Amino acid sequence: MNADLIISILSIALVAGTSLVFATIGEIITERSGILNLGVEGIMIMGAVIGFAAAFHSESAWIGVVVAMLVGGLLGFVHAFLTITLRAEQVVTGLALTIMGTGLASFLGQELGPEGGALVGLTGPRFTEISIPILSEIPIIGPIVFNQDILVYLMYVVVIAATYFLYHTRSGLHLRAIGESPQTADAMGVDVFRLRYLYTIVGGMLIGLGGAHLSLAYTPGWSENLTGGRGWIVIALVIFASWNPWRAVVGALLFGGVNAIQFRMQASSTDIAIPATLLNMMPYLLTVVIAVLTTWMQRFNKLIGAPAALGLPYNREERH
């Protein structure tokens, strides 16, 4: 493989992985607070369709982004209300959100177009590549990292901000605390209910943003089932990343890059040493390996393990 090929593969992997990074960090924040949200697929696709519709009608891609985040936040609120206030089973609620989101997105795709028609096949505003002066001329790194659409740059900011927030601020400590031991956090005077609401909504907003990257930058436009199961990849990625934003980036590059690599191998008609199907399986295989390791090895689990109170509703009156 020559340098050009590697650059083009990494560049594609980065942009293909961007929607995954947004959604994965959103889900990490939600899960860190102790709430499991399996509605990622539904929220992403709702963000994609409504984001595109808003951008189309307002003729501004940025308005699309904002609306997609609001929709994601709203669905996050629905999940929070059902699981925190009503203490509904989180897995079932999340699945319901996904089923509802995908169905509603198909419906809206047929209704939100001009004059109540379909959105399918329309072209609207989109984000295109912006190459950053000077930085984009750095050999190898420049064309990969600094020649992307603006949402990719926003992704860098989100990753850095999320990491800083989680590990270097008091609020981040509170976030991690309510997911590890809500009783202790409560005793410390942290408002568990309010924060769980907040982070489920914030997580939903980032997941919606991930959907918007698909319909406004990566594959601009709306077509049914646009997310194609990426929401489920996100669920796997969170485990793969062991609830850490930086590892989420590595995982998203891997998940996003695998297709780019195997397609390019096929297209350049080189003799493929690894079958494409095996290559496609790798990220999932690694996820399974990590999931096995976390349950199998106590020490490994302490190092990267899931938030201890993940999926458990918090009830002040009960002793845990």
Partner 1 sequence: MKNRKLLILLSALLLLVLAVVGITGAQDEPMKIAFVYVAPIGDLGWTFMHEQGRMAVVEEFGDAVETAFIENVAEGPDSERVIRNFADDGFDLIITTSFGYMDPTLTVAEEFPDTQFVHISGFLTADNMSNVFGRMYQPRYLSGLVAGSATESNIIGYVAAFPIPEVLRGINAFTLGVREVNPDAEVRVVWTNTWFDPPQEKEAAEALLAAGADVIAQHQDTPEPQKAAADAGGFSISYNSAMLDFVGQSVLTGPVWNWGAKYISIVQEVMDGTYNGSETYWGGLPEGVVDLAPFSELVSEDTIALVEERRAAIEAGEWDVFCGPITGANGNLVLEEGSCLSDGEMLGMSFFVEGVVGEAPEDASDEPIGFPMEEVLPRGDQIGMLGEAMD
- Which one of 263, 292, 298, 303 is in contact with partner 1 (CB under 8 A)? 263
Size of the site for partner 1 (CB under 8 A): 35
List binders of partner 1 among 100-159 (CB under 8 A): 106, 109-110, 118-123
Question: In this complex, which beta carbon is closest to partner 1, that of residue 121 or of residue 133?
Answer: 121
Q: Report how far apart, in Å, the C-alpha atoms of 227 and of each of 181, 219, 231, 314 are.
A: 34, 10, 7, 32
Question: In this complex, which beta carbon is closest to partner 1, that of residue 227 or of residue 242?
Answer: 227
Place of tokens 């860098």: 156
- Which one of 186, 190, 224, 311 is in contact with partner 1 (CB under 8 A)? 224
CB of 6 to partner 1, least distance (A): 12
Interface with partner 1 includes 246 (CB under 8 A)?
no
In three-state secondary structure terms, 130 is: strand
How many whole angstroms separate alpha carbon 91 and alpha carbon 101?
15
Q: Which residues contact 44 (CB under 8 A, 6 or more apart)?
A: 19, 23, 101, 207, 208, 210, 211, 214, 227, 230, 231, 234
Interface with partner 1 includes 2 (CB under 8 A)?
no
Place of tokens 């809500």: 182
Question: In this complex, which beta carbon is closest to partner 1, that of residue 12 or of residue 201?
Answer: 12
Question: In this complex, which beta carbon is closest to partner 1, that of residue 5 or of residue 190?
Answer: 5
Question: In this complex, which beta carbon is closest to partner 1, that of residue 133 or of residue 277?
Answer: 277
In the shown chain, the binding pattern of residues 8 to 27 toward partner 1, with x for contact by CB under 8 A and - for none, equals: x---x---x-----------
Buried-exposed string 8-24: b where 16+ CB fall within 10 A, e elsewhere: ebbbbbbbbbbbbbbbb
Specify the pairing of strand 129-131 against strand 147-149.
antiparallel
Interface with partner 1 includes 162 (CB under 8 A)?
no
Select the span of 72-80, 198-206, 225-233, 284-292 touching partner 1 (CB under 8 A).
225-233
How many whole angstroms separate alpha carbon 299 and alpha carbon 219?
42
Question: In this complex, which beta carbon is closest to partner 1, that of residue 44 or of residue 310?
Answer: 44
At residue 296, what is the residue type?
Answer: W
Instruction: Say if residues 16 and 82 touch (Cβ distance below 8 Å).
Output: no
Three-state SS for 223-245 is CCCCCCCHHHHHHHHHHHCCCCH
Interface with partner 1 includes 282 (CB under 8 A)?
no
Instruction: Say if residues 37 and 177 touch (Cβ distance below 8 Å).
Output: no
Interface with partner 1 includes 221 (CB under 8 A)?
yes
Select the span of 155-163, 184-192, 197-205, 218-226 touching partner 1 (CB under 8 A).
218-226
In the shown chain, the binding pattern of residues 62 to 101 toward partner 1, with x for contact by CB under 8 A and - for none, equals: ----------------------------------------
Strand partners, 130: 148
Binding site for partner 1 (CB under 8 A): 8, 12, 16, 106, 109-110, 118-123, 214, 218-221, 223-226, 228, 230, 259-260, 263-264, 266-269, 272, 276-277, 280
